[in-house]
Structure 1
Amino acid sequence: MTDVGTDGADGWSWEYEGYKAADERLRESLCTLGNGYFATRGALPECDADDVHYPGTYVAGIYNRLTSEVAGRTVENEDMVNVPNWLPLRYRLPDGDWIDPDSTEVLEHRQGLDLAAGVMERVTRYDLGGGRTLTVRQRRLVHMADPHVAALRTEFTAEGLSGPLEVEAALDGGVTNSGVARYRDLDGHHLTHVHTGVSTEDSVWLRCRTRTSDVRIGLAARFTAGALVTVRRETSRIVQCVTLDLAPGRTATVDKTVALHTSHDPAISDPLHAAVDRVARAPGFDALTATHRVAWGQLWRRAELEVPGEPGRILRLHLFHVLQTLSPHTADLDVGVPARGLHGEAYRGHVFWDELFVLPFLNLHFPEVSRALLHYRHRRLEQACTTAARAGRRGAMYPWQSGSDGREETQQLHLNPRSGRWLPDHSWLQHHVGSAIAYNVWQYCEASGDMEFLHTKGAETLLQIARFWADKAEYDDELGRHRIKGVVGPDEYHEAYPDADTPGLDDNAYTNVTAAWVLARTLDLMDMLPEPRRRELAERTALDAGEVERWQEVSRTLHLPFHDGVISQFEGYGDLAELDWQGYRERYGDIRRLDRILEAEGDTVNRYKASKQADVLMLGYLFSPSELGSLFRRLGHRLDEGVWRRTVEYYLHRTSHGSTLSGLVHGWVLARCRRSDAWAFVQEALQGDIADVQGGTTGEGIHLGAMAGTLDLVQRGLTGLETRDGALRLDPVPLPELSSYGFSLLYQGNWGVRLRLERGLLEIAVPSSDISPITIRLPDREVSIEPGDTARLVLPD
């Protein structure tokens, strides 16, 4: 028996063997099924939510806000709602206890994913005593063609046993948000007004609404068993009951088909009516499986990725979960990128900066999804401008954590599980999220060629973010440069200076460089806009020439601190104390969450040269060496290879990697400057969720940015692929451990452009079409490839 994912014969399976209660939360997250509209964790249907199991279902963009009393304070939090549970299906012998793996002896248990088909399968063989066994096989899908439908087929096979088996299927509206232990002091009762009823002899329904946001939710379930189905109503639940006649070696089958709608859905009059109607029209399980498989096949073709061996198998799982969270169905929704997918309740389902690691991959496969995610940000531009105005600033100040309406959703307090103390949370000072949004706008438009978006909503977004940075920058007479004060960088450990009364740091290098980039790109955009559109934009935003001149000045004079010949993470970083890294590793082993360790000791990480994750090195993730060098020159500095290598080395020894994104960024950066050390970090990025390297966090939801980032590591990081200046730029750096791979992409209307790298040879195939040739720029040459042609290029050593 093993408790880790094992490979199927064809590399398209992800399987677990044996039942271990301690691993259930992890398996539930990694066996989640979704379609971009909603997702359901891979929990066993016979098990209720408890300390072992957590059968959550989440609809993209459905939030609710509640207030709670915590540590003597009233705090308000908005959560992605755990909607009514459609999974429940339990069984027992007459007058016996309900059978489940926690109370009944398990002889055999397998659970896994068929990635190609998007189906979860579990097989459990129970020992019922006296030589009697019951094998339960279930197949489950959340339909990728019809985003409102899910289905569960259960097959019972008895040995040494004949007679009746009682089976109950239910819809449960009594659920709460309680999947994250450290949030349980907060109110998690988001649903109210639960009502149930019967629509036909084999179908029932449940309706409810969220308490504050007043989102109406309708569920309908059809239960077919080849026998008489009866109904029992309970508080917040409706149960369908059937008695099956078991005989040794003969399989009895029941199917449960569910439809889910909310009042956020377009083209419906009422979510309950829509759900009842849809479940009545839904075909049987086999027909649903067939159309579901076709839809998944189309996704796999569009996002084709071929990487040999174990890395390829893990990347396929990562791609599977990215597509379940952000599918073409997402393009019809008003949603952002939830940091933990639709897989659990960590971070309360909020939208952070993780789209920075997700959209670059989607841009080249599903640009319509990227555009929708950028629409989510643009719709909240007015709120971001309002937030900035309340802070006395011009432009748009986007929130570090976003939810339904774009206000700041960062918690006021966070719990340190080590000390049990609730502490102030200052991560809302991570204003660099605005630069991430601007970067994503620019990257999307470069990759897709969507000039209409760039000239309209994209231009408005960039302008207001640039305006914020220019206004926040303060001129320092002594330095003769502009400074951005009172912020927190990507590192997150440092949120204040030692012994300071107020939070915030000055001149975070990542923040300042990316702010300069935003200002420079916005100036470029203003120059390229057609004159009528530029005039409209200026009129709408009250932009004047003096403001544009200030952007020019600030974009060239933002202060960049240095110390000891390296780029400083922020002004004063070089004055902090060195940490006894070896001593802490010996005392604690895993020190990824060094901030919690030090706080529990009565100390603070603010005193030390210690980072949670890549901060300065994020610059090497966002920008190619040539573009980063150009940015530094714009700011009056020379960033040569020696300075960058020293900077990488410096922070490499002062980072605890307390974020799953850290290994990804380090692997990306080291692939270009310390190739021999890159693979260890790439491995950590690949293993982050499947091995739960952070010790329990994956069970609360997968890390979507890290998963998408590993895909982009192959797509852009190792190839050096940039979509810049109307060309595909490539500068491959094959790792010895990952030197052969291929993928397809969609570039400016060219569907299915195929790239393959193997042993120093780059092959690029452009499908036949009536679109213009693609320009490929390598460090030593430029080639043009006509549609229908294939180029085979020998790469320099």
Structure 2
Amino acid sequence: MNQDYIIPEAWSIVEEGFDKERVKSSESLFSIGNGAMGQRANFEETYSGPTFQGSYIAGVYYPDKTRVGWWKNGYPEYFAKVLNAPNWIGVDVGINGEKLDLNKCSAIRNFRRELNMKEGWYHRTFEAVLQNGTEIRVDVRRFLSLEYDELGVIMYEVTPLNRDAKISFTPYVDAGITNEDTNWDEKFWEPLETRHSEKEAFVVSRTFKTHFHVATYMHNTLFRNGEEIASVPVSEKAGDDRISLSYEISVAKGEKAGLQKFGGYTASMNHPQDKLVHAAQEVIGKAVEEGYDRLLEIQKKSWAEIWDMADITIEGDIKAQQGIRFNIFQLNQTYLGKDARLNIGPKGFTGEKYGGSTYWDTEAYCLPFYMVTKNQEVARNLLSYRYNQLDKAIENAEKLGFSHGAALYPMVTMNGEECHNEWEITFEEIHRNGAIAYAIYNYHRYTGDYSYIPEKGLEVLIGIARFWAQRATFSTAKNKYVILGVTGPNEYENNVNNNWYTNYVAKWCLEYAAEQVEEVKKHYVSDFSRIAAKTGIEHTEAAQWKAVGEAMYFPYSETHGVYLQQDGFLDKELIRVSDLDPAQRPLNQKWSWDRILRSPYIKQADVLQGFYFFEDHFTGEELEKHFDFYEPFTVHESSLSPCVHSIQAARLDRMEQAYAFYLRTSRLDLDDYNREVKEGCHITSMAGTWMSIVEGFGGMRVREDVLHFSPKIPEQWKAYSFKINFRGQLLSIHVKASGTEFELDGNTPVPVVINGRKTEVHPGTPVTV
């Protein structure tokens, strides 16, 4: 049974009542971030119960030594992981000599926490009875500034309710941190320097091996009843990697004692190593100058600007509305596109699973969201991330025996090197190369910006095409090229031959790369000369790629009239998911891997992933036949699965099914469908939730430089609205059962095709269809 404790609200997620069993899950759900750093919603004060402490700095990683039972040539030697960063949020709180710990309180009442997505802050309140009999009310607000992305802010207030109290606040910074998912229980941080004064503390540390230097800092201010008072510590403790400063405030019953804590990180990614403390002092100076109230107002304004472009409104369905906003909010907390060195980890800043590394999810699912809701430079930065790692992709291919500049992008990476060590994924899930190429195509198709291809993209396409040309094998028996020993998007099948999706995306890559070689050679002569000199491309290569693509083999069943997921798929016992005992789900937690591999069950869209990417290559009737064949065997045990099925169900006018898939993808974490949210949220699949509305229900496509829409609305909704940033023009779409209104905020008319009918939308003149 799914969890249901998150209270549905349009602009917030809310938890009421304290439950120790929910702590880790809530730490994930209520996480906060600003693109540069993020943290789980851990309590600031001591908590001795089960908890998963997590703070993270974007781009700072450690090469955790690989741990496998049987080493195979080509395995990576390490798994690069985003590190659990030093903890700056900690505040030990004492009341009349007893340390506050919700795991040990005699009673807890009116516990409530809220993540306000509209304004970008996390708030927690509760009343507690301590073992010494003192009753208190606690009010804590925390946010990570978007404007000053090295700054976090905490306001922690305690009010004694039944007696006078001596309140002690002991804020600290602690660099003695480890990762829960470390393979060898290694320490990742080496302390270098500590400094402190009455109100401030700094711990400078660096990562072993990768040598990222980080200054973790705090600045403290005390308040009584909202008025600032002297902040003089009664004691100080400074170790090699931890500094704490203790303050005391005596307050009468009903009076409020407060601690304002500014904290965060300055890192050597952005500052000289010997200037990190100075940089932190500058951040503190800005924070003190602005003050808490002004910083909060700036935060609200920053989020208002994001929501003005990215928001999707849904009328008549509060859970659906909360779901899409939660997804959009988490995506923007994770990545804002300011830095081409960064990317989008599957867990973002909400947990350590998957090491915080980059997967093909970015190109396949996240890119459309950022193309449409940001300026095009943000999406271009995501493409540049892969271009900047092209040399490493070529090295990865060389390790597996490929040559002549063939490039295999890693399944998992932080710096371009492969970090995944399961052979069936590392060596076989090679379709990831297709997503990298498709993202280049998709970016040009949507933005109209072809300049990326001659400047950077063609080099990537050449490397990928060379890989596919070498990876394909000519079968004399079939008189076709085949691709053997692969894992498709459905990771419940390994080491199969001729996975249809892999073969199809390989064919497309080969032909698309050949086309772009000819285009750049003809129209961008100087760029092509530079690329030819760098890559050594031969004049016959493009023709060879086309020949391989044209002769690619695709398994097909005449009996069923469908492309087969791979050779031998029909040899399986084709029992539908609906006939499985629900107690056997999820399969990866209940079945042996041997049993999964022998079953027909599909973890996520595989053949249907190809029908999503290349839908214009197939008719609606073909989609329907393949959807009806494969969806009944799909268990949707990947977070990336429901969105693709929602989009395709909407295209087939199966709105109940499309809505059910939408609700699952939008509330995957809020309702914990996969029973694993305590490990972190599924960030990259959240972009699929946005796709489910805009591409699914809204039917938005770009064909031949023109926006197309085929709006539909679930019967559970009264209306929904979204915006499209298309080539510098802002188009607002409002869909109701009675019709759809299009409104343009721009300077020139935008041609659109609505349900097959061509029209134009002019600035200031809404069009209703």
Determine if the TM-score, normalized by the shorter chain, exceeds 0.5: yes
Residue pairs, 1:63-102, within 5 angstroms: 63-67=61-65, 76-102=78-104
Contact 2:611 2:623 in 1 (8 A): no
Question: What residue number does 2:563 align with?
Answer: 567
Letter in 1 for 2:727: Q
Query: For each residue in 1:441-495, what CA deviation from the matched residue of structure 2 results, as whole angstroms up to 9, or x when unmatched?
Result: 2212222232222321122222321222223222222322221222110000111
* 2:477 counterpart SS class: coil
Name which of 409, 418, 441 aligns with 1:408.
418
Structure-1 separation of matches of 2:311 and 2:272 = 33
Letter in 2 for 1:575: D
Name which of 673, 688, 701 aligns with 1:709.
688
Tell me how far 1:765 sits from its aligned partner.
1.5
Contact 1:60 1:335 in 2 (8 A): yes
Question: What residue number does 1:368 align with?
Answer: 377
Q: 1:485 to 1:671 in 2, by over 3 A?
A: same
Residue pairs, 1:219-618, within 5 angstroms: 219-225=216-222, 226-227=229-230, 228-229=232-233, 230-234=235-239, 236-265=241-270, 270-283=275-288, 284-308=291-315, 309-310=317-318, 311-327=320-336, 330-355=337-362, 356-366=364-374, 367-393=376-402, 394-412=404-422, 426-495=425-494, 504-529=495-520, 530-532=523-525, 533-563=527-557, 564-579=560-575, 585=581, 589-592=583-586, 594-599=587-592, 603-618=594-609
Contact 1:162 1:246 in 2 (8 A): yes
Contact 1:145 1:295 in 2 (8 A): yes
Structure-1 separation of matches of 2:563 and 2:471 = 22
Question: What residue number does 1:208 align with?
Answer: 205
Letter in 2 for 1:746: N
Contact 1:766 1:787 in 2 (8 A): yes
Q: 1:69 to 1:546 in 2, by over 3 A?
A: closer
TM-score, normalisation: structure 2: 0.91
**Would you say 1:691 and 2:693 are equivalent positions?**
no
Tell me how far 1:112 sits from its aligned partner.
1.0
Q: 1:507 to 1:738 in 2, by over 3 A?
A: farther
* 1:644 counterpart SS class: helix
* 1:445 counterpart SS class: helix
Question: What residue number does 2:623 align with?
Answer: 644
Question: What residue number does 2:178 align with?
Answer: 176
Name which of 715, 719, 729 aligns with 2:698.
719
Q: 1:323 to 1:428 in 2, by over 3 A?
A: farther
Contact 2:129 2:135 in 1 (8 A): yes
Structure-1 separation of matches of 2:158 and 2:312 = 38
Question: What residue number does 2:152 align with?
Answer: 150
Question: What residue number does 1:774 align with?
Answer: 750
Q: Tell me the number of residue pairs that the alignment of Structure 1 and Structure 2 aligns.
A: 742
Name which of 628, 651, 676 aligns with 2:617.
628
Structure-2 separation of matches of 1:520 and 1:69 = 39
Structure-2 separation of matches of 1:598 and 1:531 = 55
Structure-2 separation of matches of 1:70 and 1:554 = 36
Structure-2 separation of matches of 1:188 and 1:584 = 42
Contact 2:194 2:240 in 1 (8 A): no
Q: 1:783 to 1:493 in 2, by over 3 A?
A: same
Letter in 2 for 1:409: C
Question: What residue number does 1:5 align with?
Answer: 6
Letter in 2 for 1:764: F
Query: For each residue in 1:612-666, what CA deviation from the matched residue of structure 2 results, as whole angstroms up to 9, or x when unmatched?
Result: 1211111233233xx132xxxxxxxxxx544432321222221222111112222
* 2:492 counterpart SS class: coil
Tell me how far 1:561 sits from its aligned partner.
0.5
Letter in 2 for 1:360: P
Q: 1:583 to 1:189 in 2, by over 3 A?
A: farther
Contact 2:411 2:425 in 1 (8 A): no
Structure-2 separation of matches of 1:217 and 1:122 = 29
Letter in 2 for 1:562: Y
Tell me how far 1:595 sits from its aligned partner.
4.0
Q: Which runs of 5+ in 2 are unaligned?
A: 223-228
Q: 1:552 to 1:787 in 2, by over 3 A?
A: farther
Structure-1 separation of matches of 2:97 and 2:746 = 67
Question: What residue number does 1:415 align with?
Answer: none
* 1:54 counterpart SS class: coil
* 1:342 counterpart SS class: coil
Q: Percent identity between the aligned chains?
A: 25
Q: 1:67 to 1:214 in 2, by over 3 A?
A: same
Question: What residue number does 1:758 align with?
Answer: 736
Question: What residue number does 1:419 align with?
Answer: none
Q: 1:100 to 1:433 in 2, by over 3 A?
A: same
* 1:138 counterpart SS class: strand
Tell me how far 1:235 sits from its aligned partner.
5.0
Q: 1:97 to 1:71 in 2, by over 3 A?
A: farther
* 2:343 counterpart SS class: coil
* 1:363 counterpart SS class: helix
Tell me how far 1:579 sits from its aligned partner.
5.0
Structure-2 separation of matches of 1:51 and 1:474 = 56
* 2:329 counterpart SS class: helix
Letter in 2 for 1:688: L
Tell me how far 1:69 sits from its aligned partner.
5.8
Structure-1 separation of matches of 2:707 and 2:578 = 45
Contact 2:167 2:257 in 1 (8 A): no
Q: 1:68 to 1:486 in 2, by over 3 A?
A: closer
Structure-2 separation of matches of 1:51 and 1:241 = 24
Q: 1:451 to 1:566 in 2, by over 3 A?
A: closer
Question: What residue number does 2:225 align with?
Answer: none
Contact 2:94 2:168 in 1 (8 A): yes
Name which of 111, 114, 117 aligns with 2:116.
114
* 1:141 counterpart SS class: strand
* 2:98 counterpart SS class: coil
Letter in 1 for 2:420: T
Contact 2:411 2:426 in 1 (8 A): no
Tell me how far 1:313 sits from its aligned partner.
1.6
Contact 2:268 2:276 in 1 (8 A): yes
Letter in 1 for 2:396: T
Contact 1:378 1:461 in 2 (8 A): yes
Question: What residue number does 1:790 align with?
Answer: 766
Q: CA RMSD in A?
A: 2.4
Tell me how far 1:319 sits from its aligned partner.
0.7
Tell me how far 1:365 sits from its aligned partner.
1.4
Letter in 2 for 1:239: S
Which is bigger in relative contact order (C-alpha 8 A, separation at least 6)?
2
Tell me how far 1:378 sits from its aligned partner.
0.6
Q: Which runs of 5+ in 1 are unaligned?
A: 413-423, 496-503, 630-639
